[in-house]
Amino acid sequence: MHYVIKRPLVTEKNSMLAEKGIYVFEVDESATKIEIKKAVEKFFRVKVTNVNTAICRGRGKRTKFGVGKPETWKKALVRLAAGEKIGLFEGA
């Protein structure tokens, strides 16, 4: 079994989205929207209404040994039901 949610993405832009009820997580690349929804609902005990995903393409880094391999990753934007909050993003 793989872990669906890797880590929350806490940035200034994502903090503004959190005020609107949208939370952003880095997830496993093979995870589907249904798996992400079930994982967030089970782990944070909230009701998820919508999940959007995006593949973020990594950029290669030039080193003295040549160009490094770019790392791609997947992020999920999770919209919660009205009145629901995740305490991790709120500082609780």
Q: Where are the domains of the chain?
A: 5-90
Fold of 5-90: Alpha-Beta Plaits (3.30.70)
pLDDT at 52 over 60: yes
pTM: 0.86
Which pLDDT value is given to residue 54?
Answer: 97
The phi, psi pair for 31, rounded to 5°, reads -75, 140
Token output for 31:
């995870």
The whole-angstrom separation of Cα 90 and Cα 28 is 24
pLDDT at 72 over 50: yes
Q: Are 79 and 51 in contact (CB under 8 A)?
A: yes
More confident residue, 67 or 51: 51
Rounded average pLDDT over 11-40:
95
